């Protein structure tokens, strides 16, 4: 059921920004927003383009499932490997520069630019993210809807919303099937998550699958681990030990 806050924001003509990674949760969130009754002209898809470290065909998949919702991309000023080189280590769950520097920061910058170029929204924006409670204990504790003082500056009124926070993984895949769509090809290839190809939060099975699907990129990660003396995985085990795949 749509909350009174969301109804009010639709009536006020807010811009609903859909953070879209091309993953199943982003895809289901866009479908949910459409089903909720938010018109396409009040939505904007923003994809953080991660370059070499993201899956092939991400933007094509988003375009194929977006309908008439406009799409823009956000690109960081530095690449993932440049960030690792500068820090001398990979990101960690406690210091997730990959999220803040490569995704959240560039996306917020592009949303600010879009609002400035489209005064019809009056600086009113709802930032929609596909995080779900089932994913982790920390995500289960997140506030579903809140005002963002940090982004509500220079005439902007900014809210953060987690529209599918209460959906399960089964719900997400079912919603995609019911819409006559398919999830990104990487799921059928064996991946359970669609973030970076090699994510600091990835399971051993996903890292192994990614190593087999993206051998050249895998080699770059293994070489970076050796060079910096620091591992990608939270387990502190090197990738070759985790995956059993020799680079």
Nearest-angstrom CA–CA distance, 214 and 210: 6
CA distances to 28, 59, 166, 197, 212 from 170, in Å: 11, 24, 12, 22, 26
* Domain boundaries defined on the chain: 4-169, 197-247
pLDDT category at 150 given cuts 50, 70, 90 is: very high
Question: What is the average pLDDT across 122-132?
Answer: 97
Q: How many residues does the chain have?
A: 247
For residue 98, pLDDT over 90 is answered with no
Q: Provide the pLDDT for residue 122.
A: 97
Q: What is the pLDDT of residues 10-29, one digit of tens each?
A: 999 999 999 999 999 999 99
CA distances to 76, 104, 122, 124 from 115, in Å: 19, 16, 8, 8
The domain defined by 4-169 folds into Rossmann fold (3.40.50)
Cβ atoms within 10 Å, residue 136: 13
Q: Provide the pLDDT for residue 1.
A: 54
For residue 94, pLDDT over 80 is answered with no
Backbone region of residue 9 per phi and psi (left: phi > 0; alpha: psi in -120 to 50; beta: other values): alpha
Question: What is the average pLDDT across 122-145?
Answer: 95
Q: What is the pLDDT of residues 30-44, one digit of tens each?
A: 999 999 999 999 999
Q: Provide the pLDDT for residue 90.
A: 92
pLDDT category at 92 given cuts 50, 70, 90 is: confident
């Amino acid at each position: 059921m749509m909350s009174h806050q969301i109804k009010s924001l639709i009536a006020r003509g807010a811009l609903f920004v859909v953070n879209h990674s091309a993953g199943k949760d982003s895809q289901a969130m866009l479908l949910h927003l459409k089903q909720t009754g938010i018109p396409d002209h009040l939505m904007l898809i923003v994809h953080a383009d991660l370059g070499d470290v993201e899956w092939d065909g991400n933007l094509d998949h988003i375009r194929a499932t977006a309908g008439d919702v406009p799409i823009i991309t956000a690109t960081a000023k530095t690449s993932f490997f440049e960030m690792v080189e500068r820090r001398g280590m990979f990101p960690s769950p406690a210091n997730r520069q990959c999220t803040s520097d490569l995704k959240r920061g560039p996306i917020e910058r592009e949303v600010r630019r879009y609002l400035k170029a489209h005064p019809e929204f009056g600086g009113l924006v709802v930032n929609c993210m596909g995080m779900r409670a089932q994913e982790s204990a920390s995500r289960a504790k997140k506030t579903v809807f809140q005002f963002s003082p940090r982004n509500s500056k220079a005439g902007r009124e900014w809210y953060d919303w987690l529209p599918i926070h209460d959906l399960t993984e089964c719900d997400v895949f079912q919603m995609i099937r019911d819409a006559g769509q398919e999830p990104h090809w990487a799921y059928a290839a064996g991946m359970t998550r669609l973030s970076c190809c090699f994510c600091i939060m990835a399971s051993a099975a996903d890292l192994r699958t990614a190593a087999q699907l993206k051998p050249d990129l895998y080699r770059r990660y293994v070489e970076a681990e050796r060079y910096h003396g620091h591992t990608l995985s939270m387990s502190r085990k090197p990738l070759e030990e985790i995956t059993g795949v020799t680079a």
